[in-house]
Structure 1
Amino acid sequence: MTTYHFIGIKGTGMSALAQILADSGKQVQGSDIEDYIFTQTALEQKNIDIYPFSVANVQQGLTVIAGNAFKDDHPEIKKAKELGLPFFRYHEFLGEWLQKYISIAVTGAHGKTSTTGLLAHVLDCNVPISYLIGDGTGKGSEESEYFVFEACEYRRHFLAYKPDYAIMTNVDFDHPDYFKDIDDVFSAFQEMANNVKKGIIACGDDEHLQSIQAKVPVLYYGLSEGNDFCAKNIQVTEQGTTFDVFVRNDYYDTFEINTFGDHSVLNALAVITLCDYENFTSAQIKEIVSFQGVKRRFSEKEVGSQILIDDYAHHPKEVEATIEAARKKHSNREIVAIFQPHTYSRTKTFLHEFSDALSEADAVYLCDIFGSAREAQANLSVQDLQDLVPNSKKLDFDTIDMLKQHQDGVLVFMGAGDIQKYQEAYENV
């Protein structure tokens, strides 16, 4: 039996794919750095061997899958090519694997992971499925009818996929180290649309997605009139949010989710639209209310009199949406933003947008910029952002106890780097 060797197995997508292959009866192993990363817990639970990076890991008989973060000069990649082993990049292998199922790609600048997780949950409650979520969660089944997966637009990697369906949550300018501008981003999504075989579920509230051209049916969802699936009468409760869904202006049903904010309603509406198109009943779709969320997306815990929220938000629109959700859920509490900018290029490009988004919080703390291995350090520091956010404060591990002054506050830790280390440090003060 072939053994699949994952180079960079602790990456969120790689970890999830490794779990899927293991669940499907394949032999799986991988290599990565020795530092603990939260994705490794699930791998260890499935008895998947994880080795420190070494050329000794790469031997005859392996099929090698390399994470997209690693360049061709990585020692293990060079060894795999020297030995002539079957070799795939992550997105290349995934593009072939998904052809076995009714495949649903979830893409968009924001909301991919939460929407993928929600759709996977609803389908998993009703039929055998496989899924790959960008928080490192993966599940495989040899009886799967559907394969739900997150498809990232970065470097146009999602063009390796030819899915049956695509959910497109929005188009926004991000990854400025690769994309030139919003038009460049849109062109990538238009190319992706051309790859879809059965249908596209797109957010009609997004002006760019309204311009998508496709050879397959496009169903639009959103909060505004004119969408095929429209959410109205949105009500916030202590438990979450309820809303009525209208299909082409006719009342369809009332749904409940246990999350908050307009972005959460839109994510749910995308799932409802796709499931209805695939002939699931509204009773089956109402399993959305039992969804417990994905990792690092508004993950909440109580510590003393404070509420601590961990969220992956790293783009101004995501920061704004996360603060809005915290405000709707905890309307009578102080909202405190603790933000770690992710990559110099993104911080520099959206400096003023980050300032505007963070100013929606009652208090703001800023951590040093988390740099990326894929870019050089710019002539920029977190001080440039702090100068634009009135009354914001710099936060580091030595001053973390400043957060204690916000008694009864909601502390929202946001970022795509290692912001969790700041939360852990604070919890241990």
Structure 2
Amino acid sequence: MLQLKDIKSVYFIGVGGIGMSAIARFFKYEGLHVAGYDRVSTVLTKELEAEGIDIHYKDDIKQVALNYHDKSSTLVVYTPAIPADHSELCYFNNKGFDVRKRATVLGLISKGMNSVCVAGTHGKTTISSMTAHLYKQSSVGCNAFLGGIINNYKTNFLHDGQSPYVVLEADEFDRSFLHLHPHFALISAVDADHLDIYGDEESVSDAFHAFVEKIEPGGVLLHKAGLMIDDVNDEIEVFTYSIEEKADFSAMNIRLVNGMYQFDMRSPFGLVKGLKMGVPGLVNVENAVGAVGLALLGGVEPEEIKAALPLFEGIRRRFQYRIKEDKLVFIDDYAHHPQEINATVKSVRALYPDKHITTIFQPHLYTRTRDFASGFAEALDKCDRILLMDIYPARELPIEGVNADMIRLLMHNKHVQLVGRDELFSVLTSEQNEVILTLGAGDIDKEVPLLEAKLREFISNY
């Protein structure tokens, strides 16, 4: 296998993935040749191309530049979302190149650093991004590989050559987080998810326990209060966090001021008063408690945290306001699991208790829809009106009998209908809207800016 010092060129198969793109940016920053393939052009791939990374969109080895055909100096990185019969992946494997999964490469890059790893079946992107921001804005500093684009920095990769810390989003998909070497680890949730990989909820839990076992001696585990995490190695410290239960790190005196939450926080380091959020939503208060806990554990001073937290501008597609006017509120969110949808809708209800909420939801994956149809139905029932788009298949082939109508048939709310992409705006505006919420992890993000533009024009006429 190649050593990092021997690598001159890095080729990414699936470069447009959020985790892949952060690693691509790292190698580009290091001055290496970086190129890649992805299935479709997106906002993110266009940003990578503007940064000097060559990308093509057809599975064709002839489109790969010659300097990536030297196996003595080329590392090939692929995402597990790429099918095994992908012709470029098969070419590099058959020719004896050093071909590695994204998670393996991330583990290689971060080894030897103080890794701050944030895991959980939901919440990890926001918590890791908040954590990175708090470290970045302090004297401690950090490097970061994140699963979302932080609005403050317009990137998912942060570099600080003076800091020993690296903040990592620890992804449970395909057990990727087991390639990391945590010094500090946070677990936000352990719910049944990715059952196409794990098979059952017990196997998901087992993977998270294996992740805990990866924490370095002398390290720290911080987990949400109430999670059943036991048999922890005596060589690590364990803390809990919560906004609802008794915990080592806990929020107090939570109040809503001009649409943003403020709170005090009790911690083993003392009471931190007057924390102010820069992003909306009660769910983000809990995320902030976890992020602040990791920052305090890493040596970030309370006054640095108080100054940085209200400046956090959020993450692209995480409770992101697209329109915030008296006539209409439009919020876009990545939520794609029933628990995430519950948390997002609860946060919207808290902010707009008397408003009518219309939700557009695009289910992500046939397997996830099959496994959680009843959970989706229950979560979406809490909205006033629901428009269901077709399932986004991502890496999967269709499963007979699995479709968005499965969710509709399980719902009690009668104000729900299936809607095609081409009729989305006309159906949406056939009724009066007060709050619009778009949800999903598929390509619904392509519709969001189009909807925003049309809605702005629409509301200007009334």
TM-score bucket of the superposed structures, by smaller chain: over 0.9
Partner amino acid, structure 2, of 1:49: D
Return the match for 2:109 from 77, 97, 112.
97
Aligned equivalents of 2:329, 2:272: Cα separation in 1: 36
Partner amino acid, structure 2, of 1:301: R
Equivalent residue number for residue 444 of structure 2: 419
Given the superposition, is the C-alpha separation of residues 314 and 402 from structure 1 closer, same or farther in structure 2, using an over 3 Å criterion?
A: same
- Check if 1:306 corresponds to 2:306: no
Structure 1 residue runs of 5 or longer lacking an equivalent are none
Partner amino acid, structure 2, of 1:150: E
Return the match for 2:123 from 108, 111, 118.
111
Equivalent residue number for residue 69 of structure 2: 59
Given the superposition, is the C-alpha separation of residues 252 and 129 from structure 1 closer, same or farther in structure 2, using an over 3 Å criterion?
A: closer
Which segment is superposed worse, 39-48 or 371-380?
371-380
Structure 2 residue runs of 5 or longer lacking an equivalent are 1-6, 150-155, 455-462
Equivalent residue number for residue 284 of structure 2: 264
Q: CA RMSD in A?
A: 2.1
Secondary structure class of the residue paired with 1:178: helix
Aligned equivalents of 2:245, 2:348: Cα separation in 1: 27
Aligned equivalents of 2:259, 2:282: Cα separation in 1: 15
Q: TM-score, normalised by structure 1?
A: 0.93
Equivalent residue number for residue 418 of structure 2: 394
**Offset of residue 149 of structure 1:** 1.2
Secondary structure class of the residue paired with 2:305: helix
Secondary structure class of the residue paired with 1:135: strand
Secondary structure class of the residue paired with 1:372: coil
Equivalent residue number for residue 247 of structure 2: 227
Q: Is the 8 A contact 2:336 2:439 kept in 1?
A: yes
Q: Is the 8 A contact 1:238 1:329 kept in 2?
A: no
Q: Is the 8 A contact 1:338 1:366 kept in 2?
A: yes
Equivalent residue number for residue 28 of structure 2: 22
Given the superposition, is the C-alpha separation of residues 155 and 409 from structure 1 closer, same or farther in structure 2, using an over 3 Å criterion?
A: same
Secondary structure class of the residue paired with 1:81: helix
Partner amino acid, structure 1, of 2:54: D
Aligned equivalents of 2:53, 2:101: Cα separation in 1: 20
Q: Is the 8 A contact 2:323 2:330 kept in 1?
A: yes
**Offset of residue 415 of structure 1:** 0.5
Partner amino acid, structure 2, of 1:414: L
Q: Is the 8 A contact 1:23 1:139 kept in 2?
A: no
Aligned equivalents of 2:231, 2:260: Cα separation in 1: 32
Q: Is the 8 A contact 1:253 1:282 kept in 2?
A: no
Return the match for 1:146 from 153, 156, 165.
165
**Offset of residue 94 of structure 1:** 0.6
Aligned equivalents of 2:163, 2:270: Cα separation in 1: 33
**Offset of residue 428 of structure 1:** 5.6
- Check if 1:124 corresponds to 2:149: no
Q: Is the 8 A contact 1:115 1:267 kept in 2?
A: yes
Given the superposition, is the C-alpha separation of residues 71 and 343 from structure 1 closer, same or farther in structure 2, using an over 3 Å criterion?
A: closer
Return the match for 2:232 from 213, 228, 234.
213
Secondary structure class of the residue paired with 1:122: helix
For this pair of structures, how many residues does the alignment match? Answer: 426
Aligned equivalents of 2:74, 2:26: Cα separation in 1: 17
Q: Is the 8 A contact 2:364 2:391 kept in 1?
A: yes
**Offset of residue 148 of structure 1:** 0.8
Q: Is the 8 A contact 2:260 2:281 kept in 1?
A: no
Equivalent residue number for residue 311 of structure 2: 290
Given the superposition, is the C-alpha separation of residues 7 and 157 from structure 1 closer, same or farther in structure 2, using an over 3 Å criterion?
A: same
Q: Is the 8 A contact 1:167 1:200 kept in 2?
A: yes
Q: TM-score, normalised by structure 2?
A: 0.87
Deviations 1:308-336 (A, max 9, x none): 21111111111111111222223342211
Given the superposition, is the C-alpha separation of residues 75 and 46 from structure 1 closer, same or farther in structure 2, using an over 3 Å criterion?
A: same
